[in-house]
C-alpha cells in the first residue's frame, strides 16, 4: 500500500508492516495506523509515521539504547491491548522531542509494539522517576543520570 509522508515522500509499504494502535497514542486517539521507518542516515533513529496523516510523525529510539537503567514494565491491561503472550515479541520505543535545539526523551510514555502481531500502544509507566522530558545528548547517545 502507498503511504504518503511529508519527510520521505511516498512510500510503498507492505500491508503486514502497518502497525495498528487500537487506542491511538495518549491524547491522540485519532491516529490508529502507523509504520516504523528506520532513518537512512541516523542508524538509531526510527520514525513512527502515521499511515493516514503525512505530517504526523514522531522521532523515536529503541528503549534498549537507554541501557539497563531504563526498565519498561508492561501492565496486564496493556498486555491485553497488545495481545502480548511472549515478552520476546514486545519492542519498546521512546519518543524524542526537540526543544530549542536540544533533544529530550519521553521516558514516561514509551510506545510498545507487539512485533509478531503488529499491534501498538503508548503505555504510561507508573514509575515517577521517569520524566516526560529527559535530556539526551544526541540521537543514539542518550545519557541517563546515574545518580
Partner 1 sequence: MLVLSRQLDESIMIGDDIVITVVDIRGDKVRLGIAAPTKIPVHRQEVYELIQRENMQAAFVEAQQGDAAPAPAGAPKPAVLKPKKKS
Residue ranges binding partner 1 (CB under 8 A):
5-9, 11, 13-14, 16-17, 23, 25-28, 35-41, 46-47, 55-59, 76-77, 80-81, 86, 89, 95-99, 106, 108-109, 115-118, 122, 124, 132-133
Query: Cβ 116 to partner 1, closest distance in Å?
Result: 6
- What is the full DSSP assignment across 98-142? EETTEEEEEEEEEEEEETTTTEEEE-----TTS-SSEEESSTT--
Beta carbon nearer to partner 1, 47 or 68: 47
Of 23 and 137, which has the nearer Cβ to partner 1?
A: 23
- Judged by beta carbon, residue 71 or residue 116, the one nearer partner 1 is 116
Which residue number, 69 or 124, has a Cβ lying nearer to partner 1?
A: 124
Listed in sequence order, the residues at least 6 apart from 57 whose beta carbon sits closer than 8 Å to its beta carbon are: 5, 6, 7, 47, 48, 49, 50
- Minimum CB separation of residue 67 from partner 1 in Å reads 21
Nearest approach, Cβ of 39 to partner 1 (angstroms)? Answer: 6
Cβ atoms of 121 and 23 closer than 8 Å? yes
What is the DSSP secondary structure assignment for residue 138, as one 8-state letter? S
Q: How far is the CB of 135 from partner 1 (least distance, A)?
A: 13
Alpha carbon separation from 73 to 91, 96, 109, 122 (Å, rounded) = 12, 19, 11, 12
Could you tell me the three cell numbers for 82?
497488545
CB closer to partner 1, 6 vs 143: 6
Minimum distance of partner 1 from residue 24's CB (angstroms): 10
Amino acid at each position: 500500500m502507498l503511504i504518503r509522508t511529508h519527510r520521505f515522500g511516498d512510500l510503498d509499504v507492505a500491508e503486514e508492516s502497518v502497525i495498528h494502535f487500537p487506542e491511538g497514542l495518549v491524547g491522540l486517539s485519532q491516529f490508529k495506523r502507523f509504520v516504523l521507518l528506520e532513518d537512512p542516515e541516523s542508524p538509531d533513529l526510527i520514525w513512527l509515521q502515521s499511515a493516514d496523516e503525512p505530517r504526523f510523525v514522531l522521532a523515536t529510539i529503541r528503549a534498549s539504547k537507554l541501557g539497563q537503567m531504563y526498565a519498561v514494565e508492561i501492565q496486564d491491561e496493556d498486555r491485553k491491548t497488545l495481545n502480548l503472550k511472549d515478552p520476546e515479541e514486545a519492542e519498546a520505543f521512546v519518543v524524542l522531542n526537540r526543544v530549542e535545539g536540544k533533544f529530550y526523551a519521553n521516558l514516561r510514555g514509551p510506545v510498545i509494539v507487539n512485533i509478531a502481531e503488529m499491534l501498538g500502544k503508548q503505555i504510561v509507566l507508573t514509575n515517577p522517576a521517569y520524566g516526560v522530558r529527559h535530556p539526551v545528548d544526541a540521537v543514539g547517545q542518550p545519557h541517563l543520570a546515574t545518580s
